[in-house]
Amino acid sequence: MASIDISQTAPVMVPPADAAEGAGAEPGRLRFEFSGTGGEYFRIWIVNVLLSILTLGIYSAWAKVRNKRYFYGSTSLKGASFEYTANPVNILKGRILVLSVLVVYQVVVVYAPLLAGIMGLAFVFLLPWVVVQALAFNARYSSYRNLRFHFDGKYPEAFRYYILWTIFAIFTLGLAYPYAIYLRKGFMVNRSRYGETSFQFSARARYFYVVYVIATLAVVGLFVGMGVLFGGIAAISGTFADAQAGTGDPGKAHALIVAMMVMYLAVLAVVLGTAIVVQTLITNYVLQHTKLGGLGLDMRMDPMRVLWIQLSNVVVIVLSIGMMIPWARVRIVRYRFSCLSVLETEPLDGFLASEREKITATGNEMGDALDLDLGL
């Protein structure tokens, strides 16, 4: 769509056996290839971190561009790599603007609380603009074979999907939330284009409801089960009765506290794991129902494989005190692209040639209106 970042954000389909091993694609299917390595990216990452610290964050804009250029340049389709051509100065300007606003807001909170409330309300109206500008900026400076991506979303649509539908979801106690997510995904896809051809989104909202309802029931069931288990253990041990009577074994109480902490961590792990699975399923489904002219996309990530990679990445990063972040990031990106492919109902080369002719005829390479990357 507007960029090759498939983090951000599917039917349940297990990746084919050859996907993770980079085997050749069958006729009509072009597979993405990712050639980045943890060692290469570590050298870029460590320099970025050190220079950002030494410059008090100023270099972070250049760090972002270097990171994106590495991942874009390491990603190829049919022998051609993607490109990221943003100017770090523009990113720095956006970040300075955001930082300035946040500093002013903190001062206002202390000296003029009422005005701070008004500013907070203004931020709500500003959010859709930030979303549109960030998506437009990222798309404008993403390209493949010298053809740029674009994002043509407008503020009124973004306000409707990101603010009004969020409010509606709150008033419906979350019942409208899956539909709000569906609308946002459709907005991002349908307003994106490559060259002069727009992406098309054919997904249905009911899949979003199925995924979110099942995930919600699983998490609620877990909470209920943990509550019953904890209550049962406490009742059997007599800890509550002893506490009310002012007697009891301190060791028993300590053991119960430890059990509470273990169950809390278990619940937290399940909630985070469920969020990862839900995001994976939705990403699969969205990309499987996205087309670009005569080209389709197919994403077949295994949710359990993604869950394992993400959780094990966290463990490795913690044990390495953060030094394995580059390896972890390359690892998940490599897996995602190994599961992504393009389905050709018309030849990719013919599509690209047609796009160049359209652009030459309309002169749309003259440039767009000012875009800002606000560091989101």
* pLDDT at site 251: 57
pLDDT band at 372 (very low <50, low <70, confident <90, very high): very low
Tell which residue, 114, 20, 29, 27, has the closest CA to residue 288. 29
Give the range among 151-155, 208-212, 234-238 with minimum mean pLDDT: 234-238
* pLDDT at site 235: 65
Please tell me the distance from the alpha carbon of residue 322 to that of residue 334, in angstroms, as a whole number.
20
- Residue 320 contacts residue 305 (beta carbons within 8 Å): no
Of all helices (H) and strands (E), which one includes residue 355? helix 348-362
* pLDDT at site 110: 83
- Residue 297 contacts residue 340 (beta carbons within 8 Å): yes
CA–CA–CA angle 104, 110, 116 (5° rounding): 60
Question: Mean of the pLDDT values across residues 149-176?
Answer: 94
- Residue 90 contacts residue 373 (beta carbons within 8 Å): yes
Question: Mean of the pLDDT values across residues 126-142?
Answer: 92
* pLDDT at site 9: 38
Task: Write down the residue that tokens 């609380």 correspond to.
Answer: 113
Question: Mean of the pLDDT values across residues 320-346?
Answer: 94
pLDDT tens, 311-322?
999 999 999 999
- The pairing of beta strand 197-201 with beta strand 80-84: unpaired
pLDDT band at 264 (very low <50, low <70, confident <90, very high): confident
* pLDDT at site 360: 57
Of all helices (H) and strands (E), which one includes residue 182? helix 177-190
Categorise residue 320: left if φ over 0, alpha if ψ from -120 to 50, beta otherwise: alpha
**Is residue 115 over pLDDT 60?**
yes
Please tell me the distance from the alpha carbon of residue 370 to that of residue 355, in angstroms, as a whole number.
24
pLDDT tens, 7-66?
443 333 333 333 333 344 455 889 999 999 999 999 999 999 999 999 998 999 999 999
Task: Write down the residue that tokens 């003259």 correspond to.
Answer: 366
Question: Mean of the pLDDT values across residues 154-179?
Answer: 94
Three-state secondary-structure class, residue 97: helix
Three-state secondary-structure class, residue 189: helix
pLDDT band at 186 (very low <50, low <70, confident <90, very high): very high
* pLDDT at site 255: 66
- The pairing of beta strand 192-194 with beta strand 29-34: unpaired
Three-state secondary-structure class, residue 373: coil
Contacts of 308 (CB under 8 A, 6+ apart): none
Question: What percent of the chain has a predicted confidence (pLDDT) above 70?
Answer: 80
* pLDDT at site 8: 42
State the SS3 of 301-336.
Answer: CCHHHHHHHHHHHHHHHHHCCCCCHHHHHHHHHHHH
Tell which residue, 355, 368, 350, has the closest CA to residue 147. 355
